[in-house]
Every structure is written in C-alpha cells, then in structure tokens.
Structure 1
C-alpha cells in the first residue's frame, strides 16, 4: 500500500511539471544573435580576459550595430560547488567572478550568457545542474545572466522533456528574464514539445568546421546540418527557433564562398546567429559576412518563417522565404565543387508551402518585383528578366524580390 501511495504521489508531482512550463514570452521574438566561446576557445582557452576582449570587439567591429547582443561563455567556466551546493566559477580563469564579468558585458550595452547541463556533469566533466536546477537558476539571476545554454551530457536515464521543463520552471521562479537555449541535439525531437519550455532548441549534434562532412563521430558539416532541417522547418515561428548550432564563419577551413553560403542558409532558415570566431581578430571578409545587414534582415524578419526547399536539382538547390512586407527572398545554392551556370526565369512559377500553420499557402511571382543581389547590394533587374549567373563552387546567390 505504501508503494502505491508513493507512486501516486510521484505521479501528482511529476505530471504538472511538464504541463506548466512557461518560458519568458517576451524574449526571442526574432532569432537570437550573439557570440559563444566554444568553437574557437573550447574548454582550455576561456578566461575573463578573453571574454572581455570579445565583448569589446563585438562593439568596435560593428557586430553590435548589426544586431548581435549576447556574449555567451560555454563549458568549463565552473569547477565545483560550495558547502551549500551553490555553483562556483573557476577562480583561476575568472578571478573577478561571474557577476563582475556580467556587469562588464552589460556596461557595453550587451547581454551575458552562461552554459550548464541537464545531467549530473557537463560535457567536459564540470558540475551539471541535475538536482540543483532551482539553486542554479537563482544564482544565474543574481549574477545578471540573460541567456542559458543547457546541454545534454551525463543525463543517464533522464527524459529530456521533464529535465528541460524543470530548468525552465526554475528560471521562471528566479524571476530574471533569461533566454533558454535547449542543447539537446534533437534526440527527442524538441521541436515537437519545447515551444513553451524554451526559445530555441538544437536540431542536430554539434557542428564541425567542415562544409560537406557527414557525421564523423564528432559532429556534422554545414550541408549535413542544412539537410536535416527540411522536414522540421514548419515548427519555426516567432519565439521558437530551430537552432542549427553555432557558426563556423571566420574559423578557417571554410572557403570564402562556403562561409557566405553557411551564413546565408542559417539566415534563410531563421536559425539563431551565434558566431564562434575570434571577434577581436577578424579579417575584413569575415567581418563583412557577419555584418551583412541585407542577409541579417532575412534572419530577423518578424514573420519568422524558415525557408522552403523549393527546387532540388542535386548539386543545385533553390530555397524560398516569404517576408513580412510582401517581399520574397530566394537562395540559389551551388553545393558542388564545380561552377554552375544559372539561368532562371520566374514566369509562371508558384511556390507552395504545405507546412503553413493555417493550411498550405501559395506564393506567385505575378506581381512585379525588383531583384536585389543581397551580397553585392546591387539591383539586378526585375522578375520579368532572366537571372543569369555563373555560380562559383559552393557559392549561394541570395536575391530579395522587392514588391513594387
């Protein structure tokens, strides 16, 4: 009998946890933009000097002006708990403490983010938040944290939905508006259940600094991640974003055209734009890619629709994105290592969005549009004209059709 009562009690306690999760609804109306330490600095490279330097560079480089606002420290900032269970920063790396660092970031007009894990340990073996969710959330609020990336290592037999819901509730109870980023790797299809839990959720395993790599045990290349978004784009809308992981733009390896394609497609799909390079040491090409206001405007469009994979010709693809003011955006992507001769006529074409939340929707090109090349920032004609271009290997031509 005692076992039965205990089981019923657990049921009463557990079920409302899932039912009553509530993120801060005023946050994340457009895809979050910022910087994260992991891709460049990993575990061993972070310290408070580096983070301050990145905050300074986000302002001086024009990144802040372009819309980037979050400075996020990933794994390895923490190294223990005190006798009361309160999470402790690694004093060798952050001698001034996390609150002082958050205050510095805020003084630059930016927002500050931290990392934790739903399991007992983080992916690097530091203390996770399992069993300490409410204490950690209260600590983060006291420190002035604005963004929490929450990973999924060392979770044992935990289920993702209740685990992430618990932290979502803890953040709500702590009272400070904190954008909640679920880094669950897409294993339990968070796009189907996390709309009220968090503001963004990872859809795949980690990105690796490679354009066309398939999962090699460490992560996925740019094209592989892109291909995994095709059937889940319908879950994207304001306040709920499929996170295609952090950008590798500016970290070497990718060519100039690959970097532009990477940035273009993350923007077309309305993925959060979280850079992962050294902002204090960007060359001009990298800076120009990451601050291209034409491309960023597609990502930040308030309609919040992820691009439709409209045409697939193997090594050549066309993606279509409707915009809030009646404009359209199109990405003509050459996936191959060879040039592609593009000749495109809009006459008589239609785009059907079968995933529209109000039922399938059709878009036509019957209304006259002016065509703007968003990378060159040049007007290249009208929709009655044929688009002709030799696309370089891995190049993506992004056009905005401006309604007349």
Structure 2
C-alpha cells in the first residue's frame, strides 16, 4: 500500500511527539572514520545523475570500494523545489529519475549514497534548506534509501547550532533508517564539546581548498589550505573516538597539488583519524593519485580499530613528529616536512619515549621494546628500533612530504 505524503507527515509528527526529547544518533555507523567520495571539491554545482552513476562504476572497477571507500555523497545543488505538502524533490534536470533511482543504482554496486542539506532557510548555494522541514526531509531521505547526510550551516541567523543538530539527529532516528550524520558548521560553536551523542563527525575547520599552505579569502569567509586544516585539528584529539570524529574537511588529493603534497595530505588525514572523503574526478586520475588513495596499509592506519587520533608529539629542525597508537600495541610514526626544503633527519628512537597520557594511556617504550620498522610508502621493512641511546639512522624527508612507518611490536 502506498502512503500519501499527508499521511506520512502525520506519522512523522506522531512519532516526534512520542519520542524522548533527545534521541540518540544511530550507533555503529562510525566505529572507524567514514570513507567515500563527494561531488563538491571537483564538481561543486555541476552535478548530475550520470556523474554519480559513473563514479559508482569507477569505485568498483578501480578497487576503491574494496579498499573501504563506501559512500558516494551528493553535495549542494541537487535540490529542486518542495512539493505541495512540503517534501523536497530533486532537481528534475540534473536528476530526471529522482534520488531514489540513483540510490538504487549505488546500492546495486555495493556502495552507499550520501546527500546534503542545511540547517538554515537555504543551502550555501541558495537551494531549499531544511529549516522547518527537518522531519519531512528525514522521512524523504529514508524513503529514498539515503545512507549519509552532510548538514551544513549557511543562512542560519538566530538558529542555535546545538538545538538544530539535535533536531535533525532526532529526525533521522525517527525516520527509521540508519543514516550517518556529518555535521558541518565549521567548528564555530566547538561541536567537539557537545555533539558526541548527536552526530558521527563534525567539521573542525572552514572549507578546504586545493593549496598546501595558504588562505583563500573571500568576502565573509575564508578557505584553508592543507596546513591550516592540520593546525586547527591537531589539538582536538581528546574529543575524537569510536563513533565521533574530528573532520578537517574533504581530501583534495588529485586536484592539482604536487605528488609530494598529495601524499603528505593523505598521510596526515590518516594519522589524524580524519574522514577520508575523496574529492577528485575518479574517472580521470593519474597513476600517482591512484597509488596514494589506494595505499591500503596507510588506510589501515586511519581505520585502526583502537580509534585514536594521532598525536603531534614535537617539532624539530623544521620537521613535525607524529605518533598514532594502534590496536595490538603497534604505532604509526610519521615525520612530516611542511617546509619548502628537503631536510635530513638524524633519527634516534630514544628521543621518543613517552606515554600518551591524554588519550590512549599507551607507551612507546623504545627503551624496553624493539619494534620492526615498516615503511608505509615504500612498502618495505627497514630493520628494527634500537634499545641503545645512539643515532641509528638518517632519514631524508622531502619538501612538503612525509616518511611514515608502522612500528610493529
């Protein structure tokens, strides 16, 4: 039996009235950071049903799906108008068969579909926002088979962020379909302090743009380069964990930076346990881009089941030294060179004896433990750590690049 829109509205209202004031978000959708692809960085508003289906095909053919990239997210500009009952419809030119048909196609490929809306009266691109239609929109997404919602923060004058995100979280829960909630208010209200039970990830930074180390300033807002995103995100590790992740925005790998910069960008997102949402045209990517985003051993660092964001341990001679505790007692260790010069590092493991007292309570204990050293980018073993207090190796870290190891206990 097909239910009318008006009847569905009544069901939604009755459900809302009988639910607790604060429903918990859907659990176990984000035990590890989400992985997928989004339209925005490459296509922005120039999206279509054919592009989404083409990306779905490529994600399967290239092995990206099997590497863990499961979401295909349609960002801003998919919206058409609301119908007579207030239910949002897809743009009839860009999506002539509707979102349900796209979701069915994506699901047939073993992938999941994400969609976008905004807590305000209009989206950032001026399409209809969800303000005043939260439960209707959640019902519509569930009917369409949507699996992920990115919820933005434009046109939100006098809207309370904590209340707005709690409202859409409750609405998604009441609609009955497990939907991942990606909060995107750019960290303005410090959601890491209050959103753990509301959303599955929250943006910690303004929007990223395809540049390694500079700001892009517009009237009223500023975009961050890769370095600025890292700097804003790296002090928030105590707020991230299984089910709730700090999000320094989507990946720009393959969109115009150098190979070194792309590799550093991807590595640092993995070290920070950040969402890995690709933003390049997967149908036309170089072999270098493919090798970066398909590095399954680096992805394993991001997706490690311990669920700990990496620690920016110290800086020395222009280099940053990062550690990420892993399940089973291993560590990921990255030497990050954000400068424009190659730097030779004299590496002494005894310089890095510490206990991660803030989050994991794990100790590197290089003075008592010997680890096998596996290079995550050359895919080669490079010996073992040493118990003696002496320099054991020299490492060259190229400009705007990384050297990354898995230290295997």
TM-score after normalising by structure 1? 0.92
State the partner residue of 2:333: 330
The equivalences for 1:84-123 within 5 A come to 84-123=85-124
Tell whether 2:396 aligns with 1:390. yes
Matched, 1:224 2:225: no
In the alignment, which residue of structure 1 is the partner of 2:310?
Answer: 307
Q: CA deviation at 1:342?
A: 1.4
Instruction: Please state how far the C-alpha of 1:348 moved relative to its aligned partner.
Output: 5.8
Residue 242 of structure 1 aligns to a residue in which SS? strand
Task: Provide the C-alpha distance between the structure 1 equivalents of 2:85 and 2:21, rounded to a whole number of angstroms.
Answer: 30
Alignment partner of 2:289: what SS?
A: helix
After superposition, what is the alpha-carbon deviation per residue over 1:96-149, rounded to whole angstroms, capped at 9, x for unaligned? 110000000000000000000000100000000000000000000000000000
Alignment map for 1:257-296 (pairs within 5 Å): 257-296=260-299
Alpha carbons 2:347, 2:395 under 8 Å: kept: no
Distance 2:404 2:363 in 1: 21
Secondary structure of the corresponding residue to residue 364 of structure 1: coil
Q: Is the 8 A contact 1:18 1:162 kept in 2?
A: no
Tell me, in whole angstroms, the C-alpha distance in 2 between the residues paired with 1:198 and 1:205. Answer: 18
SS in 1 for 2:159: coil
Deviation of 1:24 (Å): 0.4
CA contact (8 A) 1:334 1:394 kept: yes
The 1-side partners of 2:97 and 2:344 are apart by 56
SS at match of 2:86: coil
Q: Which residue in the other structure is 2:253 paired with?
A: 249
Contact 1:17–1:165 under 8 Å retained in 2: no
Once the two structures are TM-superposed, the CA of residue 17 in structure 1 deviates from its matched residue by 9.8
In 2, the alpha carbon distance for the partners of 1:367 and 1:112 equals 45
User: Which stretch has the larger CA shift, 348-357 or 102-111?
Assistant: 348-357
Q: Deviations over 1:170-214 (max 9, x none)?
A: 000000000000011000000011101010000011001000013
Aligned to 2:50: 49
Q: How does 1:57-206 map to 2 (within 5 A)?
A: 57-206=58-207
Distance (whole Å) between structure 2 residues aligned to residue 387 and residue 246 of structure 1: 35
State the SS of the aligned residue for 2:292: helix
In 1, distance between residues paired with 2:395 and 2:19?
A: 55
- Over aligned residues, Cα RMSD in angstroms? 1.7
How many pairs are equivalent? 385
Which structure 2 residue ranges, 5 or more long, are not aligned? Answer: 1-17
In the TM superposition, what whole-angstrom CA distance separates every residue of 1:260-291 from its partner, at most 9, and x where no partner exists?
00000000000000000011111111011001
Output the CA distance in 1 between the equivalents of 2:77 and 2:383. 51
Secondary structure, aligned partner of 2:121: coil
The CA distance in 2 between the partners of 1:343 and 1:378, in whole Å, is 20
Distance 1:401 1:42 in 2: 40
SS at match of 1:75: coil
Q: 1:337 to 1:348 in 2, by over 3 A?
A: closer
Q: What's the counterpart of residue 235 of structure 1?
A: 239
Q: Is the 8 A contact 1:118 1:128 kept in 2?
A: yes
Tell me, yes or no, if the aligned pair for 1:241 and 1:270 is still in contact at 8 Å: yes
TM-superposed CA distance for 1:246, in Å, is 0.4
SS of structure 2 residue aligned to 1:85 = coil
Mapped partners of 2:100, 2:253: distance in 1 = 30
Aligned to 1:321: 324
Mean Cα deviation higher: 305-314 or 98-107: 305-314
Q: How far apart, CA to CA, are the structure 2 residues paired with 1:378 and 1:18?
A: 54
Tell me the equivalent position of 1:297: 300
Q: Which residue of 1 aligns with 2:24?
A: 22
TM-score (norm 2): 0.91
Superposed CA offset, 1:40-93 (max 9, x none): 0001x1000001001111111111111100000000000210110000110010
Q: What's 2:375 paired with?
A: 373
For the residue of structure 1 that corresponds to 2:100, the secondary structure is helix
